[in-house]
C-alpha cells in the first residue's frame, strides 16, 4: 500500500483475532450489548486521533472465514496468516498497510480507551522509542494495547522469530528482554490512573461481567467508557465477584488445549462429567488452558459441559480421529470404559501429557499421571511396570460443583435430611429410601433429589410426596450446593457426591451400589466423615431407617463428622489437579526443547 509522504509516522492498529480461542471459542464475534466483541474494539479504535488504519490480523484456518466476512460487512481490512505464528501475521499486516508505528490490540479488551492509546503513541513518538510502557509506579486501569515501531517488528522477525514468546505474544518479548529494543516510558495518564482489575474477556464469566456492567450503566454498545466503568466499580465493587476467580494468562503460561474423555448419562450417571467440568473450569480460568469434551454415553450428559461454556460432543468410536484433528496438549480420561492400555500408549505419542482419574484398569499404566483419593483400591495398585506417576491423597479429590464449597449453614426449625441417589439412580434407590423413611416418626423433613437421568422421574417425584407431608423433592438443580448448606444429614449413593458432602461438612450415610463403592466408602468412614451402610442390595429398609434415626438423634456425632469433612476434603481438588497438570506439562515441554 502506497501513501503520500509525510513527516508524521503512519500509525496502524493491528487487532489480533481468531475464532479458535481455546478458553472461549468464537469469543471475538460473541455479542456484548447487542454487538460483537470485535465491533466494540474497532469502534473505539476509530475514535483515536492518531491511528490512521485499523486492520484485523486473523488466520488461514477456515474457522476464521467468519471474521473475514464480518470485516467485509464492516468495511474493516482483514489480513490472514499462519495460525500458529501471530508475529508473522503482524508482519503481513504491517507490510500491507506500510505502517511506521503499530498498535498491537487484543481483541478481548472491549473497553480500550482511544485517548489513552493516543497518549502512549505520542510518548513513543516524542521520545523516538521502539516500544512504550507506562512510567514505573504509574497505575493504569487500561490493558490490551501495545504501541511499538516498525523497526522493532522487523527486528523481531529477523532475530527472535523462533522464540515462542515472540511468535505468540509479539510485544511480550520486549517485556522479557528490555534491552532488545529502545524502551521508553509514558507519564501517568490521570483519567485512568488507578487499578482496574480484570477487564478482558477470556471465559464465559468474563462475558457475563461485561454484560452486567452494560446493564448497570444502562449503556448501549459503544457508549460505556472505561472511566464510566471504573466509577461504577467503585460504587459497586461486588460486580467484580462475577469473574474475580479468573486468572489472567501470563506471558510465560504454557496455554493449550485439553481433550477430556469421560463417561456420562444413562448407565454411568453424571458424576464423571460434572467433576471433569470442575477440572476444565480450573484449567481454563486459572491456568489458561481450554477444554473440549468427548462424552461416552448419552446426549444429555453433554449439557453440564455446554452450560459451563465448553464444546462437548458424543464420542463416536475411538479417540484417534479426535486427537489427530484437535492435536490437544492434554488428554484426560475419567470413566469406566475407554481405550486399552495399548491404545492409550499409542495416543500418548500424539499429545503432550495423558492423565487418568480414579482408574484402576490396566489403562492407567500407559498414562503419564494418575489421580486418586486415598481409598483402599488406590493404595493397593501396583505401578512397578509403569512410568506413570500416581498422585494419591484427599487433596486430589475432584468435586462436581460450579461454586466453591461454603461452610455457612442455613438453619431450619427441624432437622433436614437430604436424600440423593445420583443423577440416574439406576437401582431406584430414591423411592426405596422414601418408603423406608416412612417407618420413622415425622420429627424431620426429607428432601429427595430427582436426578435428570432418572427413569420415570416425574412419577417417582409424585409418589414420594404422597408418602409423607414431610417429604419434598428437589428437581432441575444444576448442582446441590444450596441443598448442602441446608442439610443436617445426607443419605447418599456413594460416588462423587460423597466428596461434595464432605467438603460442605455434611454428615452422611452411604448406600453403595457395588463392592468397589463399599471399599471406597470405608475410607470415608475411617476418616470420620460418614458411615457406610454397605451394598444397598444386601441391606434391609429397616437398617436404612434405623441408621438415619440414630444419626439424626446424635448431634454430637454429627458435629464431629462435620468437622472431619471440612478438615479432610477442602474443595480445592480441581484447582490443585489443574495446577499439577500444567506444571507437569511445562516440565515435559522444557525437556523436549532441551533435547532439540
User: Tell me, what's the pLDDT at 407?
Assistant: 61
- Residues linked to residue 293 through DSSP beta bridges, in sequence order: 260, 312
CA dihedral 106, 112, 116, 122 (to 10 degrees): 40
pLDDT at 280 over 90: yes
Q: What percent of the chain has pLDDT over 90?
A: 72
User: Tell me, what's the pLDDT at 533?
Assistant: 96
Average pLDDT rounded to a whole number, residues 11-18: 96
Compute φ and ψ for 49, nearest 5 degrees: -85, -20
pLDDT at 431 over 80: yes
Average pLDDT, the chain: 91
pLDDT band at 250 (very low <50, low <70, confident <90, very high): low
User: Tell me, what's the pLDDT at 96?
Assistant: 96
| pTM recorded for the entire structure | 0.79
Question: CATH number of the domain at 416-568, please?
Answer: 3.40.50.2000
Transcribe 181-248 into DSSP letters.
S-EEEEPP-GGG-S-----S--SHHHHHHHHHHHHHHT--TTT--HHHHHHHHHH-GGGGGGTTTPPP
Q: What percent of the chain has pLDDT over 70?
A: 95
Q: Under a CB-based contact definition with an 8 Å cutoff, are residues 160 and 173 in contact?
A: yes
User: Tell me, what's the pLDDT at 246?
Assistant: 84
pLDDT at 6 over 70: no
CA 96 vs CA 38, 66, 106, 279, 543: distances in Å: 21, 21, 19, 43, 79
Question: CATH number of the domain at 256-400, please?
Answer: 3.40.50.11190
Q: Three-state SS for 502? A: helix
Measure the CA–CA gap between 574 and 557, rounded to whole angstroms. Answer: 29
214: left (phi over 0), alpha (psi -120 to 50) or beta: alpha
**Among 21-30, 131-140, 276-285, the least confident range:** 21-30
Write out pLDDT tens, residues 542-594.
Answer: 999 999 999 999 999 999 999 999 999 998 999 999 999 999 998 888 887 77
pLDDT at 74 over 80: yes
Write out pLDDT tens, residues 522-541.
Answer: 999 999 999 999 999 999 99
User: Tell me, what's the pLDDT at 1?
Assistant: 47
User: Tell me, what's the pLDDT at 3?
Assistant: 54
Looking at the chain, the domain(s) classified CATH 3.90.550.10 span 11-194
User: Tell me, what's the pLDDT at 411?
Assistant: 61
CA 14 vs CA 6, 86, 247, 568: distances in Å: 21, 11, 25, 51
Q: Which residues contact 550 (CB under 8 A, 6 or more apart)?
A: none
Q: Under a CB-based contact definition with an 8 Å cutoff, are residues 427 and 451 in contact?
A: no
Measure the CA–CA gap between 347 and 16, rounded to whole angstroms. Answer: 32
Residue whose C-alpha is closest to residue 475's, from 459, 491, 487, 488: 459
Q: Under a CB-based contact definition with an 8 Å cutoff, are residues 25 and 313 in contact?
A: no
Write out pLDDT tens, residues 116-152.
Answer: 999 999 999 999 999 999 998 888 888 889 999 999 9
Beta strands of 335-434 (E only): which ranges? 353-357, 369-372, 389-392, 416-420
Residue whose C-alpha is closest to residue 356's, from 374, 344, 515, 308: 344
- Residues linked to residue 448 through DSSP beta bridges, in sequence order: 419, 473
pLDDT at 198 over 70: yes
Q: Under a CB-based contact definition with an 8 Å cutoff, are residues 135 and 186 in contact?
A: yes
pLDDT band at 410 (very low <50, low <70, confident <90, very high): low
Measure the CA–CA gap between 106 and 116, rounded to whole angstroms. Answer: 15
Average pLDDT rounded to a whole number, residues 369-398: 95
C-alpha cell at 293: 469434551
Handedness of CA 77, 79, 85, 88 (dihedral sign): negative
Looking at the chain, the domain(s) classified CATH 3.40.50.11190 span 256-400
User: Tell me, what's the pLDDT at 14?
Assistant: 97
Cell 460473541, located at residue: 30
Measure the CA–CA gap between 396 and 375, rounded to whole angstroms. Answer: 12
User: Tell me, what's the pLDDT at 149?
Assistant: 97
User: Tell me, what's the pLDDT at 97?
Assistant: 96
pLDDT band at 412 (very low <50, low <70, confident <90, very high): low
Residue whose C-alpha is closest to residue 297's, from 323, 326, 272, 266: 266
DSSP one-letter code for 293: E
C-alpha cell at 245: 476467580
User: Tell me, what's the pLDDT at 269?
Assistant: 85
User: Tell me, what's the pLDDT at 409?
Assistant: 65
pLDDT at 448 over 90: yes
User: Tell me, what's the pLDDT at 401?
Assistant: 77
The 3-state secondary structure of 407-476, one letter per residue:
CCCCCCCCCEEEEECCCCCCCCHHHHHHHHHCCCCCCCEEEEEECCCCCCHHHHHHHHHHHCCCEEEEEC
Residue whose C-alpha is closest to residue 488's, from 471, 501, 479, 500: 501
pLDDT band at 253 (very low <50, low <70, confident <90, very high): low
Q: What order of strands is seen across the sheet that includes strand 471-475?
A: 471-475, 445-450, 416-420, 489-493, 508-512, 530-535
Write out pLDDT tens, residues 33-67.
Answer: 999 999 999 999 999 999 999 999 999 998 999 99
Measure the CA–CA gap between 203 and 284, rounded to whole angstroms. Answer: 7
Task: Tell the CATH superfamily of the 11-194 domain.
Answer: Spore Coat Polysaccharide Biosynthesis Protein SpsA; Chain A (3.90.550.10)
Handedness of CA 493, 497, 501, 503 (dihedral sign): positive
User: Tell me, what's the pLDDT at 139?
Assistant: 86
Q: How many CB atoms lie within 10 A of CB 251?
A: 12
Q: How many CA atoms lie within 13 A of 289 on its CB side?
A: 31
What does DSSP say about strands 101-106 and 145-149: parallel, antiparallel, or unpaired?
antiparallel
Between the two ends of the chain, the Cα-to-Cα distance in Å is 40
Looking at the chain, the domain(s) classified CATH 3.40.50.2000 span 416-568
Average pLDDT rounded to a whole number, residues 470-493: 91
Q: Which residues contact 563 (CB under 8 A, 6 or more apart)?
A: 505
Measure the CA–CA gap between 364 and 345, rounded to whole angstroms. Answer: 10
User: Tell me, what's the pLDDT at 256?
Assistant: 87
561: left (phi over 0), alpha (psi -120 to 50) or beta: alpha
Average pLDDT rounded to a whole number, residues 390-416: 80
pLDDT at 252 over 60: no
CA 307 vs CA 118, 208, 274, 278: distances in Å: 40, 13, 11, 12
Q: Compute the residue count for the chain.
A: 596
Amino acid at each position: 500500500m502506497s501513501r503520500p509522504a509525510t513527516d508524521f509516522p503512519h500509525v496502524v492498529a493491528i487487532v489480533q483475532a481468531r475464532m479458535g480461542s481455546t478458553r472461549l471459542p468464537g469469543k471475538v464475534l460473541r455479542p456484548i450489548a447487542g454487538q460483537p466483541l470485535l465491533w466494540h474494539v474497532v469502534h473505539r479504535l476509530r475514535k483515536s486521533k492518531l491511528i490512521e488504519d485499523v486492520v484485523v490480523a486473523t488466520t488461514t484456518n477456515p474457522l476464521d472465514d467468519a471474521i473475514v466476512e464480518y470485516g467485509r460487512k464492516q468495511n474493516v481490512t482483514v489480513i490472514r496468516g499462519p495460525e500458529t505464528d501471530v508475529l508473522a501475521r503482524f508482519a503481513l499486516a504491517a507490510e500491507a498497510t506500510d505502517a511506521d508505528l503499530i498498535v498491537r490490540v487484543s481483541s478481548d479488551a472491549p473497553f480500550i480507551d482511544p485517548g489513552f492509546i493516543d497518549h502512549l503513541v505520542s510518548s513513543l513518538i516524542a521520545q523516538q522509542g521502539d516500544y512504550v510502557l507506562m512510567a514505573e509506579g504509574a497505575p493504569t486501569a487500561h490493558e490490551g494495547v501495545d504501541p511499538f515501531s516498525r523497526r522493532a517488528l522487523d527486528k523481531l522477525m529477523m532475530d527472535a522469530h523462533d522464540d515462542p514468546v515472540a511468535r505468540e505474544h509479539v510485544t511480550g518479548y520486549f517485556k522479557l528482554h528490555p534491552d532488545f529494543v529502545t524502551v521508553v516510558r509514558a507519564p501517568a495518564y490521570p483519567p485512568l490512573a488507578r487499578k482496574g482489575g480484570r477487564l478482558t474477556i477470556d471465559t464465559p464469566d468474563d462475558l457475563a461481567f461485561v454484560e452486567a456492567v452494560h446493564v448497570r450503566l444502562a449503556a448501549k454498545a459503544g457508549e460505556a467508557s472505561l472511566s464510566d466503568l471504573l466509577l461504577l466499580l467503585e460504587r459497586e465493587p461486588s460486580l467484580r465477584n462475577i469473574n474475580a476467580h479468573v486468572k489472567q494468562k501470563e506471558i510465560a503460561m504454557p496455554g493449550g488445549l485439553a481433550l477430556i474423555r469421560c463417561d456420562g448419562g444413562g448407565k454411568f450417571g453424571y458424576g464423571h462429567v460434572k467433576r471433569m467440568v470442575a477440572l476444565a473450569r480450573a484449567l481454563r480460568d486459572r491456568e489458561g488452558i481450554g477444554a473440549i469434551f468427548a462424552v461416552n454415553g448419552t446426549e444429555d450428559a453433554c449439557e453440564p459441559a455446554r452450560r459451563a461454556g465448553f464444546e462437548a460432543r458424543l464420542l463416536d468410536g475411538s479417540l484417534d480421529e479426535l486427537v489427530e484433528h484437535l492435536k490437544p496438549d492434554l488428554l484426560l480420561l475419567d470413566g469406566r470404559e475407554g481405550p486399552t492400555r495399548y491404545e492409550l500408549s499409542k495416543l500418548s505419542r500424539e499429545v503432550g501429557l495423558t492423565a487418568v482419574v480414579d482408574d484402576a484398569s490396566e489403562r492407567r499404566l500407559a498414562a503419564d499421571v494418575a489421580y486418586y483419593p486415598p481409598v483402599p483400591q488406590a493404595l493397593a495398585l501396583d505401578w512397578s511396570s509403569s512410568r506413570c506417576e500416581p498422585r494419591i491423597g484427599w487433596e486430589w479429590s475432584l468435586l462436581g460443583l460450579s461454586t466453591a464449597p461454603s461452610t455457612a449453614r442455613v438453619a431450619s426449625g427441624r432437622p433436614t435430611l437430604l436424600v440423593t441417589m445420583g443423577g440416574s439412580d439406576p437401582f431406584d434407590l430414591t423411592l426405596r429410601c422414601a418408603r423406608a423413611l416412612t417407618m420413622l416418626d415425622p420429627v424431620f423433613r426429607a428432601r429427595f433429589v430427582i436426578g435428570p437421568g432418572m427413569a420415570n422421574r416425574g412419577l417417582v417425584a409424585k409418589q414420594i410426596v404422597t408418602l409423607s407431608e414431610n417429604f419434598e423433592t428437589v428437581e432441575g438443580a444444576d448442582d446441590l450446593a444450596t441443598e448442602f448448606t441446608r442439610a443436617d444429614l445426607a443419605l447418599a449413593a456413594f460416588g462423587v457426591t460423597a466428596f461434595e458432602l464432605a467438603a460442605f461438612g455434611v454428615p452422611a450415610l452411604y448406600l453403595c451400589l457395588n463392592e468397589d463403592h463399599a471399599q471406597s466408602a470405608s475410607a470415608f468412614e475411617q476418616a470420620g466423615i460418614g458411615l457406610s451402610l454397605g451394598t444397598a442390595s444386601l441391606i434391609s429398609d429397616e437398617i436404612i431407617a434405623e441408621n438415619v434415626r440414630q444419626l439424626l438423634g446424635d448431634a454430637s456425632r454429627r458435629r464431629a463428622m462435620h468437622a472431619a469433612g471440612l478438615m479432610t476434603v477442602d474443595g480445592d481438588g480441581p484447582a490443585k489437579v489443574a495446577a499439577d497438570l500444567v506444571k507437569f506439562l511445562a516440565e515435559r515441554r522444557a525437556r523436549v526443547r532441551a533435547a532439540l
